[in-house]
Amino acid sequence: MQTHVARIIQQRRRALGLTQQALAERIHVSAKAVSKWERAAGLPDASIVPALSAALGVSAECLLNGQVNQNPPDGGNMKRIKFFQCPECGNLLTATIGAELSCCGRRLSPMTVVPADEAHRIHVADIETEKLLTWAHPMEKQHHLTFLAAVGYDCVHIVRLYAEGAQEQRLPRIPGARYYCGCSKDTGTLFESRA
């Protein structure tokens, strides 16, 4: 068991680019203690295991088992993303699996996705290494776009928009992205534009 634990500590420490001294400082032990664990000359005290596992980015169970179980890639999970916006404060939340979210004391429902009409359509153009998003929607205090989102296979990029702001935004290129926007007057609706 000691050799498995020693191997995990050393592998994770190196993967994180930490020296024995740096790891020791994070968990408030001496560098000699870390060296001892990595040489399999002893095991961490049970009181240290939670801090050590957190510093190494593994569960305490994996650390003590001497095995790091990699989560299988969850490909395409972002395609199922749901957006939630609080009508009270405007807070924007997302979830990729079934979730019950609340804000300002009320339960939120996912925003309804609809194809963008001409007023809410986002125009996407390539510019240098980014995408330039433009729109004709007014950006007035009482009526404006509140956010833009680019959703790809494995990532999401969200930009908050404000009244009287510019009618353009640069976002990183995301292969196969779908583009969405929210509107201050249609808080429960998510407008989808295809690039």
Determine the 3-state secondary structure of 176 from DSSP: coil
**101: which 2 tokens?**
């979210």
Mean pLDDT of 166-183: 90
Mean pLDDT value of segment 45-56: 87
pLDDT at 68 (0 to 100): 62
Whether the per-residue pLDDT at 24 is higher than 80: the answer is: yes
Tell if the pTM clears 0.85, that is, is over it.
Answer: no
DSSP 66-110: T---PPPP-TTGGGG-EEEE-TTT--EEEESS----EETTEE--P
- For residue range 122-134, list pLDDT tens digits in order: 999 998 889 999 9
pLDDT confidence of 75, banded at 50, 70, 90? Answer: very low
Q: What pLDDT digit, counting tens, does each position of 126-166 carry?
A: 988 899 999 999 999 999 999 999 998 888 899 999 998 88
CB atoms within 10 A of CB 72: 6
Distance set, CA 22 to CA 19, 31, 183 (Å):
5, 8, 47
Please give the average per-residue pLDDT across 57-85, as a whole number.
71
Average pLDDT over residues 65-80: 60
Share of the chain above pLDDT 70, in %: 93
- Does the pLDDT at position 63 exceed 60? yes
List C-alpha distances in Å: 16 to 9, 57, 192.
11, 9, 39
188 Cβ neighbours under 8 A, 6+ residues apart: 85, 87, 109, 111, 112
The 3-state DSSP class for residue 11 equals helix
How confident is residue 55, by pLDDT bands cut at 50, 70 and 90? Answer: confident
Per-residue tokens: 31: 């560098």
pLDDT above 90 covers a percentage of the chain that reads 40
- 67 — pLDDT class (breaks 50, 70, 90): low
Q: How far is 15 from 62, CA to CA, in rounded Å?
A: 16
Q: Which amino acid is at 41?
A: A
Return all residues near 13 (Cβ < 8 A) that are at least 6 apart: 19, 20, 23, 34, 38, 56
